[in-house]
Structure 1
Amino acid sequence: MFMLIKKSFAWFITSIVLTFFFIPLVAEELDLYSIKSNASVSSLRFSQNAQKEVLEKLIIRLTNPNLTNAKNIINNYFPDPSRYIKQFQPDVNGQGSIVIMDGESVQKVLLDAGESLWGIDRPPIMVFIAIESGLGEREIVVSDSGFNSFSSSINLDKNQPIKNNILSIAEERGLQIIFPDMNDRDQEVLNFSDVWAGFLDNMLDVSNNYGASNILTAKIRQDEIREHEWRFYFGKDVISFRSNMDQAIHRVANLMSERYMYSGEIPPNEIFINFGLVDSIVDLGEIHLIFKSLSMVESYTINEINQDNIFLNVTYNGPRSDLELSLNKIDNIIPNNDLIRNRRTHNKNQDILNFNIN
């Protein structure tokens, strides 16, 4: 009876994957193509300079400014920048406008021009900033929601300018920045000394609760106004440097873009991923949500269904180690190192990752 149930389940899975899984993933990070402009709606409608400004901001997000010149690119390849503006509206949270760009078309022009791009693959960055203000006052910069949860509404967050500065540059470069809430759960694991001394394990424990695997830390002393000590834990790399706040965020953005940039001449990577112990449609839904949550995954298809195992052919951008690291951090799956590491397909060996549904 057990085998019959398994076979029936495999048959049922096969019957629905044609309409459910054989489609490319679509990025949900629409903010990547949303640009804040100081120009009014009227200027965006009639002024080519205003249109070029928002296009330049998008190109800066999609490329590495150290390697490209957005103004030259626009002059050479975008004679009519208005064609790449989908819509715009007044910014209800401030002056100027919010502009939605046709990001896919812009990327196509850039790739055709031979430029390398940093697309939707933008893993979040957990930011831990430890501030030593003198007279024994030490603190970690917390998120707005974290500050509001344990402070009176009349109190002002004196670290708000620091957060605003970091978030402003992060938005310019298309980075996802997360500050910790430092709620009771966080404080059980992490304190000021952990950040100051660089105890990575504790910071990783907190970061995992926020879905971030990359960590940026800063040590700010009251007597060091211009430059601070920074450390960027990026995959398996640890980059230490001194800089001011603006330069630090730009440096992190450049490091990430260098890793994740691709061009029309470099196709996405491919890998087989096997999920074992798939017993129900709920498990199938979990697999779908896993890949939907991974920005570096472009698409995936069912390659084979065998009893309670599903083999997927996955295309992705970026290093294989980053993909494996991201999967290893997902709670409802666990690595299965007992299975083979590669399988033969199309007369060649292709790498494979193995996981079990937990």
Structure 2
Amino acid sequence: MFRYWIVFSLLFSWNSAFAVEVSDLYTAKVALNSQTQRDQSSALKAALKAVLVKIAGDEKVLSNAFIKNEVQHYSKYLTQFNYLTDNGVNNLVASFDENKINQLFFQENLPLWGKLRPLVLFWVVTEDGLKRRIISETDESPLHDEISALATEKGLPVILPLMDLTDTQNIQIPDLWGRFIDPIKLASQRYTPESVVIIRVSKNAIFTTDEEPTTNCDLLCKQSAISIDWHIVTTQSDKVETGNQYKGVDELVLMKTVMSDITTHISQRYSLTTETDHDLIIDVANVDSLAQYVDVTQFLDKLSVISSFKLIKAQGNNRRFQLTLMGSADTLFASLKLNNKLKQYVDPLLGQNADDIPVFFWGTE
């Protein structure tokens, strides 16, 4: 239901990049073999690992020595759990304490990805022999279901195209397969994503003698393979960034690796660096009432990238704030572009000097 709500909402949000506040970041659902104490304990550990990966945006968080140890003591962070049967599969759903998890990240100086996350549009093209097709939002296929499940698992807001008349008029399969930026950006505009990902899935790949598939395969199947590669472009750039390419015999297994790559790539732009605080001074130039000042301060207080702030100057309608950031100024600017509340002003003739104080306007369209 959540994915279809995104489709409905974004069709009425054409003017700016779309952000989604992701819920249930501190909850995970994992398969459960049985309700014995041993299997329950294993499932709860797996659920905590899943939550940690969602918060970090990167599976490397699980290689941290202290994190490994804390997973064994999952009960310190557990708030509740229950059992759920879904399509005949027994699952355990566990929730963990948000403050304790966040404190764990701060303690270990680990990057932390907040709840406000960018909407990512996936253009997925599959190739089987001479036939190519685009996976749409309403597609009924294991690959579609896997992408949807992985997006939820990673805490990444993903939308697939509707592939209605508008889409089919704006873009053709060769545009996507060839990664031609102009038609891709044109067709993507209606979805107002922050980033666009092009994924190509080919069942026509062949292993060479020095290649090994990423999934187990006997000698009889090493002659042919499935190949998946991905590329990404942000709405602020015409540059197409090339990701990795993987070969194997199971497209769903390969897609898990691809999704991990993409999530890590995107999270690195928005994650908070808990290791070092940075100070930044900004001006908000159109604060003309006490009520508006309160709105601005409440907004700054809710931004997870800002650990603290204070008003240091008030002159006319201008308010100057000193911010203490958990990370870089670029992380703050990237986060601000997701919500459209505080817009930076840059003189088109003079540009923005690195030594200048950034100027923002509140609540402008």
TM-score range, shorter chain: 0.5 to 0.7
Select 1:241's aligned residue among 244, 249, 257: 244
Cα pair distance change 1:43/1:258, threshold 3 Å? farther
SS in 1 for 2:24: helix
Per-residue CA deviations over 1:209-262 (Å, capped at 9, x if unaligned) read: 434222211223341342123212257561243124232212222333444444
* Amino acid corresponding to residue 347 of structure 2 in structure 1: D
Q: Does 2:27 correspond to 1:34?
A: yes
Following superposition, the deviation at residue 96 of structure 1 comes to 0.9
Cα pair distance change 1:260/1:332, threshold 3 Å? closer
- Greater displacement, 48-57 / 181-190: 181-190
Identify the residue that residue 162 of structure 2 maps to in structure 1.
Answer: 181
Following superposition, the deviation at residue 127 of structure 1 comes to 0.9
Q: Does 2:58 correspond to 1:52?
A: no
Answer yes or no: is the 8 Å Cα contact 1:341–1:351 preserved in 2.
no
Following superposition, the deviation at residue 128 of structure 1 comes to 0.7
Distance in 2 between the 1:300 and 1:289 partners? 11
SS in 2 for 1:226: strand
Which sections of structure 2, spanning at least 5 residues, go unmatched?
A: 1-19, 206-224, 247-253
Following superposition, the deviation at residue 169 of structure 1 comes to 3.2
Answer yes or no: is the 8 Å Cα contact 1:41–1:89 preserved in 2.
no
Per-residue CA deviations over 1:70-100 (Å, capped at 9, x if unaligned) read: 6x53553456322311222333645312212
Distance in 2 between the 1:280 and 1:203 partners? 45
Q: 1:306-317 maps to which residues of 2 (within 5 A)?
A: none
Following superposition, the deviation at residue 317 of structure 1 comes to 5.5
Select 2:358's aligned residue among 332, 352, 358: 352
Per-residue CA deviations over 1:132-179 (Å, capped at 9, x if unaligned) read: 4445x44321113xx5xxxxxxxxx2xx21122223333333322221
Answer yes or no: is the 8 Å Cα contact 1:260–1:317 preserved in 2.
no
Identify the residue that residue 272 of structure 1 maps to in structure 2.
Answer: 282
Cα pair distance change 1:174/1:274, threshold 3 Å? same
SS in 1 for 2:226: coil
Greater helix share, 1 or 2? Answer: 1
Following superposition, the deviation at residue 55 of structure 1 comes to 1.6
Answer yes or no: is the 8 Å Cα contact 2:32–2:40 preserved in 1.
no
Distance in 2 between the 1:191 and 1:275 partners? 45
Select 2:136's aligned residue among 142, 146, 154: 142
Distance in 1 between the 2:54 and 2:156 partners? 9
Distance in 2 between the 1:331 and 1:115 partners? 29
Which sections of structure 1, spanning at least 5 residues, go unmatched?
A: 1-26, 148-156, 344-348
Q: 1:213-224 maps to which residues of 2 (within 5 A)?
A: 213-224=194-205
RMSD: 4.4
* Amino acid corresponding to residue 228 of structure 1 in structure 2: I
Cα pair distance change 1:264/1:293, threshold 3 Å? closer
Q: Does 2:109 correspond to 1:128?
A: no
Distance in 2 between the 1:353 and 1:45 partners? 57
* Amino acid corresponding to residue 143 of structure 1 in structure 2: E
Identify the residue that residue 9 of structure 1 maps to in structure 2.
Answer: none
Q: Does 2:278 correspond to 1:250?
A: no
Per-residue CA deviations over 1:321-348 (Å, capped at 9, x if unaligned) read: 46546656877987643399889xxxxx
Distance in 1 between the 2:342 and 2:105 partners? 38
Cα pair distance change 1:298/1:93, threshold 3 Å? farther
Cα pair distance change 1:276/1:193, threshold 3 Å? farther
SS in 2 for 1:218: strand
Cα pair distance change 1:205/1:327, threshold 3 Å? farther
TM (norm. structure 2) is 0.65
Identify the residue that residue 14 of structure 1 maps to in structure 2.
Answer: none
Cα pair distance change 1:178/1:130, threshold 3 Å? same
Distance in 2 between the 1:352 and 1:311 partners? 10
Following superposition, the deviation at residue 265 of structure 1 comes to 2.3
Answer yes or no: is the 8 Å Cα contact 2:276–2:326 preserved in 1.
no
Answer yes or no: is the 8 Å Cα contact 1:131–1:141 preserved in 2.
yes
* Amino acid corresponding to residue 227 of structure 1 in structure 2: S
* Amino acid corresponding to residue 116 of structure 1 in structure 2: L
Aligned residues: 310
Distance in 2 between the 1:263 and 1:335 partners? 22
Identify the residue that residue 196 of structure 1 maps to in structure 2.
Answer: 177
Answer yes or no: is the 8 Å Cα contact 2:282–2:321 preserved in 1.
yes
Cα pair distance change 1:175/1:78, threshold 3 Å? same
Answer yes or no: is the 8 Å Cα contact 2:283–2:320 preserved in 1.
yes
Cα pair distance change 1:41/1:315, threshold 3 Å? farther
Distance in 2 between the 1:214 and 1:118 partners? 20
Distance in 1 between the 2:192 and 2:328 partners? 19
Q: Does 2:50 correspond to 1:69?
A: no
Q: Does 2:81 correspond to 1:91?
A: no
The higher-RCO structure (CA 8 Å, 6+ apart) is: 1
Select 1:80's aligned residue among 73, 93, 109: 73
SS in 1 for 2:136: coil
Q: Percent identity between the aligned chains?
A: 18
